Chains A and B, each alone.
Chain A
Amino acid sequence: MAVLTVKNLAKTFNLGTPRASRVLDDITFEVRGQTFVSIVGPSGCGKSTLLNIISGVEEHTSGEISLTSDEGRPARMGYVFQDPRLLPWRSVLRNMMYVQDDQGEATVARARRYLDMVGLAKNADFYPGQLSGGMQQRVGIARAFAVEPDLLLMDEPFSHLDAITARGLRAQLQDIWAQSKKTVVFVTHDVVEAVELSDRIIVLQPGGRIYEDIGIDLPRPRRQTDPTVATLQAEVLARLEAMKELGRTTEPVA
């Protein structure tokens, strides 16, 4: 079982210069296998920075992070970004193979399977420039799932898409996740989306501290139209309103 541990994590940009700004402050949490965790907070509170640190793309200033994988092998991570980030000179399938260590037939077959799950089986040989933005984003999702990551990081993957496409992709994501049961850390500024998708919501407040850690115990698959989902969404939103009040009284970030 994959376990992600984050302990007393802090991040200050431009440390030691007059422009130093603390973005994350004393973040501690743990995620244990097959959980869908959302990190929610207003924009600029450090969500992307946190994901980048977890993925190893960004250095952290202090604290500890560890990720253990299932069988003691090095842990694999997948990342879905806000934008598709495909190589324009590689076809869809070859983009998915680019992030794979193994180039064998079994891996190709797996990539095709995930491509099929996002409804793009027919577009394997297309170049990204020949796909719409929503289709490209689906390739990005398939690419990340196809590495069979111990931990899947997603950074506001639907925020650049129109509402209808985004709703369709959220449903697709629920399906794929139900089939593959990865550990997911999903960043969003959209509470409604977080409640629909997650087992658990970690709320970050401006200044980069954890404000609240909320468990979402609802049966799946969840429908937007389900009144219990809507009720919980309203409840969580109300709690975040309370955070905004609190945000005004906390001291400004150094």
Chain B
Amino acid sequence: MTEQLVGAATAAPPADRDGREAGARRTAQLRRWRRRGLLVLGWLAMLLLWEFGSWWYGSRLLPRPHEVFLKAVEIVESGNFVTDFSASVLKTFAGFAVAAAVGAPVGYLMGRYDYWRAFFHDGVTIAGTIPAIVYAVMSLIVFGLSNLGPILAVALVSAPYIALNVAEGIRGVDRSLVTMSEAFGRTPRQIRREVLIPTIVPFVFAAIRMCFAVAWKVEALTEVFGGRNGVGFQIRTEYQLYDIGAVLAWMFLFIAFMLVIERLVLFRAEARLLAWRPEERGTAL
């Protein structure tokens, strides 16, 4: 009986197995190409709709796609692009820094002590629910026409997320790893560095990624109303000159730029830091 079972398990000739694997590969490839095809079709449909809109409303009101594209090239070729984008990005990250400086300690207290959790919980939750536009308006009222407005807006939008995520991270610390460290005579400092912080890192990254998606839009919005430079400021200027093509060009450039930062910088850094997670290893290496 046993021998038969063993025989059956090893009976499948390798050639047959290779054939089946090749077949599965082909099917997967076909599916991939079909998906790419649909992606391209989606883009074409969008552009067609845009062209139709331009024709319907007139290209002064809604410039045609290639006009916007040429405008974008023009913007990139003039020096404005670099100065204004770096201004916007710097303000976004400055806002993050402020948010982290305030949010992380609050989150630490919330995660570590029940009293502080009770103290902060509702306030932080409400602060995280307030619409971003309200923060933009508040920042304008506080700082008026200034670079500090966008920074404050980003900080206000991000800080609650960071606090809640850090708190969640701290609460997720594995007590048994802390006990293990103590049993082997590790110092509190070592335990903080080797157990606490690695536990929190994924949560902080989740917070930053979530915030980033909202933060750069708030940053640009605040610049539109009260910036002295940056992408939002350029959009307002072009709007006042009634150059819709330039407004759209700046917008698309900004979107593209921020997506690149999100994908390349944030995802890469995260994959690098979280390489130990079995499911992340593939992307990290």
CB within 8 Å of B: which residues of A?
52, 55-57, 76-79, 81, 83, 85, 87-91, 98-99, 101, 127, 129-130, 147, 153
Find chain B residues with CB under 8 A from A56 CB.
Answer: 182-183
Other-chain contact of A77, B183, B194, B198, B278 (Cβ < 8 Å): B183
Find out whether the CB atom of B276 lies under 8 angstroms from the CB atom of A147: no
User: In whole angstroms, what is the CA distance A129 to B176 when docked?
Assistant: 17
Other-chain contact of A87, B177, B179, B183, B278 (Cβ < 8 Å): B177
A-B CB contacts (within 8 Å), total count? 51
- A129-B276 contact given A56-B183, A85-B177, CB 8 Å threshold: yes
Task: Output the least CB separation between A143 and chain B (Å).
Answer: 8
- A77-B185 contact given A87-B194, A87-B195, A88-B276, CB 8 Å threshold: yes
In the complex, the chain B residue whose C-beta lies closest to that of A140 is: B180
User: In whole angstroms, what is the CA distance A103 to B284 when docked?
Assistant: 27
Find out whether the CB atom of A87 lies under 8 angstroms from the CB atom of B186: no
Find chain A residues with CB under 8 A from B186 CB.
Answer: 98-99
Other-chain contact of B183, A57, A91, A101 (Cβ < 8 Å): A57
Find chain B residues with CB under 8 A from A85 CB.
Answer: 176-177, 179-180
CB within 8 Å of A: which residues of B?
176-177, 179-186, 194-195, 198, 276-278
16 contacts between A and B (CB under 8 A): A57-B179, A57-B182, A79-B183, A81-B180, A83-B176, A85-B176, A87-B177, A87-B194, A88-B277, A89-B198, A90-B276, A91-B276, A98-B186, A98-B194, A129-B276, A153-B183
User: In whole angstroms, what is the CA distance A79 to B198 when docked?
Assistant: 23
Find out whether the CB atom of B184 lies under 8 angstroms from the CB atom of A127: no
Other-chain contact of A55, B177, B183, B195 (Cβ < 8 Å): B183
User: In whole angstroms, what is the CA distance A81 to B184 when docked?
Assistant: 12
Q: Chain A: interface secondary structure?
A: loop
- A79-B180 contact given A87-B195, A98-B194, CB 8 Å threshold: yes
In the complex, the chain B residue whose C-beta lies closest to that of A55 is: B183
Other-chain contact of B276, A55, A57, A127 (Cβ < 8 Å): A127
User: In whole angstroms, what is the CA distance A53 to B277 when docked?
Assistant: 34
Find chain B residues with CB under 8 A from A81 CB.
Answer: 176, 180
Find chain B residues with CB under 8 A from A91 CB.
Answer: 276
Task: Output the least CB separation between B280 and chain A (Å).
Answer: 10
* With A90-B194, A98-B184, A153-B183 already in contact, 4 other A-B pairs whose C-beta atoms are closer than 8 Å: A79-B183, A79-B184, A83-B176, A130-B278
Find chain A residues with CB under 8 A from B277 CB.
Answer: 88, 129
User: In whole angstroms, what is the CA distance A91 to B276 when docked?
Assistant: 8
User: In whole angstroms, what is the CA distance A128 to B10 when docked?
Assistant: 32
Task: Output the least CB separation between B172 and chain A (Å).
Answer: 12
User: In whole angstroms, what is the CA distance A98 to B191 when docked?
Assistant: 10
Task: Output the least CB separation between B86 and chain A (Å).
Answer: 34
Find chain A residues with CB under 8 A from B181 CB.
Answer: 98-99
In the complex, the chain B residue whose C-beta lies closest to that of A144 is: B184
Find chain A residues with CB under 8 A from B185 CB.
Answer: 76-77, 99, 101
Most buried by A among B183, B276, B277: B183
Most buried by B among A56, A87, A147: A87
CB-based closest 4 A-B pairs: A99-B184, A79-B183, A85-B180, A89-B276
User: In whole angstroms, what is the CA distance A85 to B195 when docked?
Assistant: 11
Find out whether the CB atom of A78 lies under 8 angstroms from the CB atom of B184: yes
Other-chain contact of B184, A90, A129, A147 (Cβ < 8 Å): A147
Find chain A residues with CB under 8 A from B177 CB.
Answer: 85, 87
User: In whole angstroms, what is the CA distance A77 to B183 when docked?
Assistant: 8
Find out whether the CB atom of B183 lies under 8 angstroms from the CB atom of A129: no
Task: Output the least CB separation between A137 and chain B (Å).
Answer: 13
In the complex, the chain A residue whose C-beta lies closest to that of B176 is: A85
